[in-house]
Amino acid sequence: MGKNAGCFQGCLHYMFDYETSKTLVIPNLGVGCFFRFSQLLIVLYVVGYVCMVQKAYQETDSAISSVTTKVKGFAFTNTSDTDPRFWDVADYVIPSQGDNSFFVLTNMVITPLQTQSRCPEIPNPSTTCVDDCDCIEGYNDPRGNGIRTGLCENYSTTAQTCQVHSWCPLEIDTKLPEHALLAAAENFTVLIKNTITYPKFNFHRRNIRPHINSSYLRACEYNRATDPDCPIFRLKHVVSEAGEDFQDMAVKGGILGIMIDWSCDLDWWAGKCLPKYSFRRLDSKHPVNNVAPGYNFRFAKYYKNRDGRETRSLIKAYGIRFDVIVFGTAGKFGIVPTIVNMGAALSFLSLLPMVSDWFMLTFMKKRDLYSKWKVTYLDEDAVTGPVSMGTSYGTQ
């Protein structure tokens, strides 16, 4: 029993005796100041830079977003080539339902009344011919416009070209109007509704702020300085904010990014979380290293003519595609990143004595004295252990 108690006490002592390092106080202002100053620097770095500037105490999440767009406006075209025509949103927004991007038609080449038939190719070095032998039947020239029938035909009074099976008449897309047909598109407006979610924080937000009322929204127009909350954008303004000229861009088309930045600090002391709009042209407008500059695509409207045959109007549509690009990272206080960042900084604090010791034992005048007091060299022969170290303390 006595033995058990002794053993238990031994264990208790082994477990709960507190082992602390013996220290030496050196009354040297130089080393002391160096040490304290370094400590201060590390603490300042942690508090100031890591916490304040980088907000490294925060967990982050990426925004997921849903966008709807609605374009408004109409235009009237009346050029020498075409009939007078009125254009509304169902005509110039293609496809009619945009989600993250919408396309506004600004210029076009229309080839009406195409039917499946045969017609001579558009003249170019590879299509001109002298007689039928130059036109191999069934040949499919990747740069041509159809399948050769094997005949050589008059394209005009001066040129003969191979006949092809295709949608005829062929499109002549070099006749693009030099001034955008729908130049009036610059005054169209678009309403962008955007909802974002940060799933990790269960945070939802709309770009139409709750305090805004309907009547304001009906009349407002986005302006970085005077109306930064309004979700209605005039296309001309969007393009000019991106540093481009609308009329220039409208001729050949292009891609314009409407970026909505939802980067937010969701800690309660951080206040508001608002979208920041910015605008940037996304395609390359430089004619160098640029195949198919601008932005265009072809689509067709299909009709049946009176005898039931299919005809189509082929439209090569030039215009501006507006890509609504929503991004953002939200941060919120999180215990793990806080611990990690503080811990990492603290490990520098615990590295500091090593540096200070090295500094002291290398550069101080009295380094030998300090070394004598600080460092004990174990003498393996003195098996009885260090004799009377404490006396020096007693004299203090």
CB nearer to a copy of itself: pick between 152 and 230? 230
CB nearer to a copy of itself: pick between 130 and 383? 383
Distance (Å, whole) CA 199 – CA 332: 12
CB nearer to a copy of itself: pick between 179 and 373? 373
CB nearer to a copy of itself: pick between 77 and 247? 77
- Using an 8 Å Cβ cutoff, are 167 and 312 in contact? yes
Distance (Å, whole) CA 171 – CA 314: 8
- Using an 8 Å Cβ cutoff, are 179 and 248 in contact? no
Distance (Å, whole) CA 93 – CA 104: 5
| Least distance (Å) between residue 273 CB and a copy of itself | 17
- Using an 8 Å Cβ cutoff, are 251 and 178 in contact? yes
| Least distance (Å) between residue 133 CB and a copy of itself | 22
| Least distance (Å) between residue 134 CB and a copy of itself | 20
CB nearer to a copy of itself: pick between 131 and 196? 196
Distance (Å, whole) CA 245 – CA 250: 9
| Least distance (Å) between residue 379 CB and a copy of itself | 4
CB nearer to a copy of itself: pick between 102 and 131? 102
Place of tokens 């390359």: 284
| Least distance (Å) between residue 126 CB and a copy of itself | 14
CB nearer to a copy of itself: pick between 78 and 157? 78
Q: For residue 264, which of 326, 331, 333, 209 has the smallest C-alpha distance?
A: 331
| Least distance (Å) between residue 75 CB and a copy of itself | 8
Query: Which residues face 338 on adjacent strands?
Result: none
Place of tokens 């009885």: 384
Q: Cα separations (Å) of 261 from 65, 255, 362?
A: 11, 19, 54
| Least distance (Å) between residue 130 CB and a copy of itself | 25
- Using an 8 Å Cβ cutoff, are 254 and 294 in contact? yes
One-letter amino acid for residue 318 of the chain = Y
- Using an 8 Å Cβ cutoff, are 122 and 155 in contact? yes
